Structure formats: C-alpha cells, structure tokens
Chain A
Amino acid sequence: MAAGVAAWLPFARAAAIGWMPVANCPMPMARRDHSKKQDELIILNVSGRRFQTWKTTLDRYPDTLLGSTEKEFFYNEETKEYFFDRDPDAFRSVLNFYRTGKLHYPRYECISAYDEELAFFGIIPEIIGDCCYEEYKDRKRENAERLMDDQDENKDIKLPNMNFRETMWRAFENPHTSTMALVFYYVTGFFIAISVITNVVETVPCGSTPNQKDMPCGERYTVAFFCMDTACVMIFTVEYLMRLFAAPSRYRFMRSVMSIIDVVAILPYYIGLVMTNNEDVSGAFVTLRVFRVFRIFKFSRHSQGLRILGYTLKSCASELGFLLFSLTMAIIIFATVMFYAEKGSSSSKFTSIPASFWYTIVTMTTLGYGDMVPKTIAGKIFGSICSLSGVLVIALPVPVIVSNFSRIYHQNQRADKRRAQKKARLSRIRIAKMGSSNAYLQSKRNGLFNELLDLTGTEGEEQHRNKTTSLLESQHHHLLHCLEKTTAHEFVDEQMYELNCTENALQSFLSRSPSLSSHEGFTGTCCSQRSRKSIPLPNSSMSTTHTHMQSQGLQELSAIDIQCVEQPIHGTSRSSLNLKLDETSQLNNRGQQIITAIISLPSPPPVTSDGCGHGPPNPPATISTTTSLNVVKVSAL
C-alpha cells in the first residue's frame, strides 16, 4: 500500500460501515489507538537548515531511519529537535519522499554522495520514481565503469605469488610492467617493420645490368632476402610459441584474432619451405606470399589506434552491412539501366550487366576513371542520376560510422587520462597514508628524543617538537603505543619491513658480522637502540631526517619519472655518522643508505650486504642501473 494514501485509511475504515448489515458474524475488535495525542510537528535540523514536518508524515515509512525509533539517537534534548550532520541539499529529496511517496534524483547531485545519503536514511534507491529512474541508472552505470577501471588498475600491482608462466603472460599483455617485456615489445615491433619493408622492397626493380632487363630486387639478392625472411619468421615463431605457452587458456588464445593473424603471417614461409621446386604448386606458392602482408596487422598489438579502428568496424557492423546492401542494390539497378540504355550504341563498352557493374561502382563513388563512358543521351542522363545518387547512398551511413569511431576513441582517451591522473592521485594518497603512519613513528622517536633532551637539557628543539602534535594526535599515538606494549612488537613502515625480511634472509644465508646483526632491526627499535646507545643530538636529528627521507624517497619512487638522487659519496663509516652534525650530509648518507636498501631489493644479495653495513660504498652503481626500471612511459597511439 502506498503510504501516500495512508491519509485515506481512516476514510476507508469508516466506509467499511457498509459491510456491517450484510455480515452474518460479529466483527473483530479494533485495536485501540492509545497514542491519541495530536499530530505534532517535528523539527529536523540538518546541518543548520531546519526542516519541519508532521510526525505522521515520517511515520509513513517505518522501516527507514526517520520513520523508526532510530531517529531518537539523533534527538537533541536542549533544542528539542533532531540533528543530523548531513548534506541539507540531499536531505530535501529524502524529506520529499516522505511527503509525496516518490523519491526523486536531482541531476546536480553526485551519484555516490546521493547513494550514501539514501543509505544513511535507510531508503533503498530502487524506489526512485520513473521520472528520475533513467537518469539515476545511467549515472550509476558510469560510476560503476569508473570503479571497474580503478580495479583493473589495481590488478597491475605485482602479485608476489605469480609463477613464471603467469609473469610471462602479464609481460606480453602489458609491456610496461617490466624491462624485459618492453624490450621484447620493441624488438618484435622492429622486426615486423623490417619484414613488411622487406616484402615491399623485394618487388622493386633494382640494379639495371646492361645485359639483363630490370629484375626485382628479390630475384637479384635472393639469398639476402631469404635470410632476412628467415630471421623475421624465426622471431615471429618464437614469439607465437612463447605466447602459446604463457596463455592461461590455450584454446581460447588459439581462437583469438591476433593469434590467427600470427599464424597466417608465418605459415607461408613454412609452406614454402616444404614444397620446393614443384612447378605445379609453385604458382600457388607465389600466391601464398601475398599472405605475408598480413604481418602488418601484427602492428595492432603495438598501436592502440589500430585496435580502436578494428573495434569500431566491429561495432558498426550493422551500419556497414546496411551500407553494403544499399550500395549493392543501387549498383544492380543502375547497371541494368545503363546496360539497356547503351545497348543501342555501337562499340559500346557496356557488353553485359556485370560489365556495367564496374562503371556503376566507379561512378557512384565519384571516381570516374573514364575507361567506360556512356555515349547515348539516355545513357548520359542515367549516368548522371547514378553519380548523384551514389553520393547520397554513401554519405548516409558514413557519419554513423564516424561518430561511432569518435565515441570509442574519446572513451579510450578518457580512460587513458584517468589512468595517468590515477597514478598521480594514488601517489598522493600513498604519501598521505605514509605520512600519517610515519607521524606516529616520528612521534615515537620524538618521544625518545624528548627523553634524551631531558637527559641533555636542550630546550630549543623541544618546543619545536611539542608544537607539532595536537591533543588528538597525542592521544592516538598513546593508543598505538599501548598496543605496541601489549604485543611486545613495534610498528614499522613498509620499506623497513621489507628490508627486514630480506636482511633476515641474508642473515641466515651469509654469516654476518655483529655490526650488521644489530642492523637487523632497521626499525624504530633500531633507531631507538642506537639512540639509546649513543646519546648525542645528531642521532635524533638523523632520525627525523630519516623519516623525511623516507617519505621523500617514496615520493620519488612512486612518481612515474624518477630522478635519481645523486648524492655525493661521503666516505663515512658508521661510527662517524654519530659524530657528524651537518644535517644535509646526514640526509645524504641516510638517504643513500635508504635508497640503496630499497632499490637493491630486486637485485642480487651481495650488493645489499655491502650497502647496509659500512658507509655507502657502491650505491651509485645500483641506483643508476635500477632507475631505468622506473622511467617508463608508454605512448598511446
């Protein structure tokens, strides 16, 4: 029952009096309405804007927040009103729903914000009225697509437990995931180009020796071209086999368009190898060479534009079909007409209707070669009608195809833009997240630092430190601290943790010197240990810059283009780090240490062992080689 007509229920009950005389048995007792108080006005204060309505209006929908006792949680005793800290604009739609029984979706409202409001007030969006339902569904779909895009992006993050096969497949599908894949991508592209150019140049007549007529280069330098062809086919075969091996579903891969193109590209060569010098089939063999031109389609893996074009043609299949059909109809009609019109004239080229097809096509597409022209007057009249109608017939479906292409292209553009922005956005989010977790670690060190200060008695820095933490922050940190104490473990950040893992692995693998073993806890404990060990100030300033460098290092690592932090190498040993007061040098050292540590994770162990232990012996080498990993930008088209 629609709540809108709830107002008429008393009337319907009163009208039931008409049944009474007809009834043979007594009526059931009605429930006495104990809450006989008058209908009261309820004040709903939504972020300062006051809405007022009757209580019965809200009671119409008892399974929502406002209609149930849930709103009592928001009741403010002093002001005798219900206060909601929500968006007043969105609340308008919610309240109108109670009043009119219809839920409307305002166009200016963001879809996710609106959904959240509805969820808060306990209203299911499916009851949106018909007038606004289309709009709502469209916006919801767009939003879902955007979220799916985001999810696809997340999948690019390297999953640690992929086996070799899956890694290879990912490398093939997304060349920018690893250097090897990129190299492979460019090499195959290069060889496709080479192969296509070879095929083309093969037929060019070159070398005019006086005694022989011009022969195409292919016949002149047979061996060279054969070698080139072999090389290309080798590469393509290897590539195809590797893709086949890596594909998650081999059957589906073999049926895909790209793999068919691959096969067609390399098959003629093998067939040519197999059948040699057999005069009958060599003619067919020559024809097969035509299929070598299909290699150019392999470029569609390398070019997004080509893929979009192909996709457009596929999606416009119906328009293309219509175009073809209408063209065929027109061609047949006009060819027939022209044939009969020109039948009379002598030496007419219009020998049959199929022969007239050529004239019709050339005329309708406004090519007009002029090899066949009508000579009679009737033929000329019909010929002109033919060319005029040709323009119309072709001009009609073409804009549809064009608009389809444009739409798909722009969609791709938007997706690419989103992806590019997303990287920057994610890096910002990551920095913010790291910032907050680092804040705790930093405050912890500050706490220790403050302990030190108490011991050493310097005041300037202390004031600076105390200002930075608010009451909220300090309470939060206290909480985290309690947790640490409870579990007898400490919070560390990601880099440290990974470093720990590798270091622990190294520790077990190589016998370590004691100085390095203390380096294991390259965490808060590490720093705290060291700060406890060595009292002087520089250590703590080092610890603060330690965190700064971390976030900075992360910033650098997460951006697409990475500048290598070229630090001058200080030939400092670990002990000397404790003595140096110069902050920048501390920064550099720590920075180098950290960067070394972080970047050298994927590289072989020995470097790490050197890098972490004493000063920074060979970091620049590792830094320079591995930054190339990160400087990647794949162009779209």
Chain B
Amino acid sequence: MGAVVGTLTMQTRQRRPSRDKIDDELELSIVCHRPEGLEQLEAQTNFSKKELQVLYRGFKNECPCGAVNEETFKQIYSQFFPHGDASTYAHYLFNAFDSSQNGSIKFEDFVTALSILLRGTTTEKLQWTFNLYDINRDGYISKEEMTDIVKAIYDMMGRYTYPALKTDTLKQHVDAFFRKMDKNRDGVVTLDEFIHSCQEDENIMRSLQLFENVI
C-alpha cells in the first residue's frame, strides 16, 4: 500500500509545473499602470485639472492597479443595469474605449474617450459613435452589425418590459434606422452618411447635448 501512495504522490508532483506557469501569468497581469502626468492629460483632453483629479480618484478607487480589463469593465457596467444583461453592450463599449486594442483600458483611454463624449464637438461625438457601431472596424456599418448593437441595447432592458418585446421589434428597429441613415441604399452606412443623417435629425442633435454637464 505504501507503494500505491508513493506513486499517487509522484503523479501529482508532475502536474505542478504547469500550475506554476498559470501562477506566473496571473502575477504578470497584476501589473500597475501609471498614467501620464496631469499637465499632459490636461493638454490632450478638454478637462480641467480639478476634473481630471476627480475622474482619476474615481477610476483608481475601482481599479487600484490602474487599468481595467474587460471582465471588470463588464461587471462595473452591469451594476448600472440590474434588470437585464449589459455584458454585450459593455463588450462593444470596451472595444470602443480601448483605442490601442490591447485588452485593457488605461486611464488615458478612459479620459480621452470621456473628453470626446462630454466636451467634444458634435462631429467628434458622432465619429465616436460610428466607431462604436462599426464592430469590425472596416469603415462601414452593415445591417448585421447594427442588429447586434440594437440587440445588445435591448438586452439591457431585460425581460420584463412594457409593452412586451415582440420577436420582430428588433428587425423593425434596425430597418427604421437603415431607412433613415442609408442614403444611397447600398446596404451599408458610411461615416459621412451617418454624420449627415444625424445632423438632419433634431432629436439626435438635442440628445447629444444631454450629458454635457455630467462631470
């Protein structure tokens, strides 16, 4: 029986190196990131020093290591929408924020995007939104991409809505969007078409100014 016990322990010992590697990887990912200096950020963005301080404090509170990965981002965003599932939209948002596409949002990315969204010109805002919708970054919004986006938004509503969601609500919504945006009816929406169509719509223009005083 001692031999049996001995062989069993031998087997477990072999498996350990792989587990060590995983530990190493974990350690690598918990690396802190420090943002650029306050003056540089102030120059790059449209925020004042005080606003940047407030933003950074909030950011660092939630992410002490200085960078957000997608999981954390999804968790944070989902907390604002308890009814439904905000993970899909958060995924698209994450991609939109993560300008360098390296899987984590640093404070600079965060603040740059916020600067556009809150203090940018209409054109800049619309450009950012176009980037958000263009999931595969090919410069065109296809119907499939739009359907995905709209579905992600509807997911955040959850199941219990009034009036109840019908099966073709999504399709109708996307069709309406394309009818409005796609001027030359070629099945995709380009940046110019998008900006033009939005500037023509009063509601959209007004709602773009809605969140200006958020900070």
Using a CB–CB cutoff of 8 Å, the interface residues on chain A facing chain B are 1-2, 4-5, 7-27, 29-30, 32-33, 36, 38-39, 54, 99
Contact = CB atoms under 8 A, between A and B. Distances in A.
B62 to A, nearest CB: 6
A32 B118 contact: no
Contacts of B62: 4-5, 7-8
Interface residues of B, number: 47
Contact of A22 (B50, B54, B150, B215): B150
A30 B57 contact: no
Given A18-B129, A21-B177, A22-B153, A8 B58 contact: yes
A4 B64 CA distance: 12
A22 B177 contact: yes
A4 B214 contact: no
A27 B206 contact: yes
A10 B58 CA distance: 10
Interface string B102-132: 0000000010011001100000011011001
Interface stretch (B16-24, B27-35, B72-80, B158-166): B72-80
B93 interface: yes
Interface in B146-162: 149-150, 153
Given A26-B206, A27-B206, A5 B215 contact: no
A14 B211 contact: yes
Contacts of A24: 173, 176
29 contacts: A1-B79, A1-B82, A2-B79, A4-B61, A7-B61, A8-B77, A10-B114, A10-B118, A14-B113, A14-B214, A15-B93, A15-B117, A16-B211, A17-B117, A17-B128, A17-B211, A18-B89, A18-B92, A19-B153, A20-B129, A21-B129, A21-B177, A21-B181, A21-B204, A23-B203, A23-B204, A26-B206, A27-B210, A36-B213
A24 B153 CA distance: 14
A358 to B, nearest CB: 31
B59 interface: yes
B80 A5 contact: yes
B128 to A, nearest CB: 7
Given A1-B79, A5-B62, A30 B110 contact: no
Contact of A7 (B59, B89, B114, B214): B59
A54 B181 CA distance: 46
Looking at chain B's contact residues, the main secondary structure is helix
A8 B56 CA distance: 11
A14 B210 CA distance: 9
Given A8-B58, A13-B214, A30-B211, A18 B93 contact: yes
Nearest to A19: B153
A38 B79 contact: no
A17 B213 contact: no
Nearest to B81: A12
B198 interface: yes
B208 interface: yes
Nearest to B126: A21
A30 B210 contact: yes
Contacts of B198: 21
Contacts of B82: 1
B9 interface: no
A4 B80 CA distance: 12
B210 A11 contact: no
A9 B203 contact: no
A12 B75 CA distance: 12
A30 B210 CA distance: 7
Nearest to A26: B203
B173 A22 contact: yes
